[in-house]
Structure 1
Amino acid sequence: MRLLNKNSGTWSRAAIALAAAVVVGAVAAPFSMADPKPESTRAAAPAGDPDLLLATPEVPRVSDGSYSGFQFCGIPDQTPQVTTDRPSLAATLESVAPPGSVEKPGADQPGRKVVFEVTESDGNPVLTKKATTEASHTAVYQFPEDTLSSGDYRWRVRVQDGPATSQWTAWCDFSVRLTD
C-alpha cells in the first residue's frame, strides 16, 4: 500500500485516515486523563430533604503547594504523597457560573461555604476548617506552616449554603514525607 501517489503527488485514503486517527487520539488522550473521577470518591446522598442537599464536591486532590500539580484521590494503589508541611487540598464544586469565569465574594455574592475535615489515618482529628470559597466552582485549602508532620492523613470536604448542605466527599488518604 502506498501512502503517497508518486505520479500525482497526492496522499492516499489510507494515509489521510491514519493521520486523522493520530490527531483524534492526541486530542482525546489528555481529556481522558485529566479528570479520572474514580467511583470510590462518590457515595450515595444520605436520606433527607432533597431541597436541603447540595451536590457533593467531586475530584478531591492534593498538591505540594499553590504552583504544583495535583494528585487525584481514590485511584487504586496510588495514595497521593506530598513533601511539604503545607500541602493544598482541593475539590470541584457544582459550578453555578459559566466555565472560565471567576466570581469574587461580596455582599451580594458570598461564594460557597465549605468545611474541610482532616484526620490522621487512624481517625485522630487534626483540624476542621470552615472557609468561604473565592469562586463558586472550586474549594481550596492550604495548610498553615508546621501543621503537619511526616505521616499518613486523610481529608474530606462538604459544601454549606444557608440551610442546604452537601454530603461529605469520600475520605482522601494522603501521605506527608518531609525530608530532614
Structure 2
Amino acid sequence: MSLTFRLDPPGGPALRDGVLALWADVTNAGGAVGFVAPVTAEDIRPEWRGHLTAMAEGRMRLLVGYDEEGAVAATAFLAYNTHRLMTHWVWLYTVMVHPKHQGKGYGRDLMAAAADAARAFEGIEAIRLTCRGGTGADRFYAACGYKEVGRVPGAIRVAGGDDRDDVIMLLPLSPRTAP
C-alpha cells in the first residue's frame, strides 16, 4: 500500500475537514506542527484560513497524500519566497503523516513527493524547512537528504520552562532524472 499524492487538489469541505482532522490528530499525538496538544480542528481553523489565503494568492502550494480509502493521510505546504533575492528556494511547512499511517514509509514518500513537486517549479534550486528540536524530526529529515544548516537555541517555547531549538535544514535539488 502507498499514498496517492496530488499537488493543489480541488478544495472544498472534504479537503478542509480532512486537513483539519489530520492536523489535530498529528498535534494531539505529539507532532510538532505549529501547535501544542491538546487542540481541536477549530483551534487550527484560523491557521488553515491563512494557508488558504496564501494559496489563493499564489504564494503557497498544498501537497496532499491520500490513503487507499481516499482520506487525507499526509500533507505538506510549499511556500514560495517573495523576497527577490530568495526566489530560487521554497519553504516546506507543516509536514504531516497521520499517526495511524506512521511507520509505513509514508513520511519518506511525502518528502520525495515534495522534492519532486519543488523540482517542477520554475527556477527552484532548494527546499528549506525548520523543525522543533528534541522531537527526532531533524534525524528523519536528515535521512531524507536534508542537511542541518543552522540552529537557534531555545527559539521555540512549547511551555513555560520547555524551550526547544529551531533547527534549520536544507535540501539542494538536483534536476530529476528518469528512472
Higher relative contact order (CA 8 A, sep 6+): 1
More helix by share: 2
Shared fold (TM-score, shorter chain, > 0.5): no
Q: What's the TM-score bracket when you normalise by the shorter of the two chains? A: under 0.3
TM-score, length of structure 1 as denominator length: 0.26
- Answer with 1 or 2: which has the greater Rg: 1
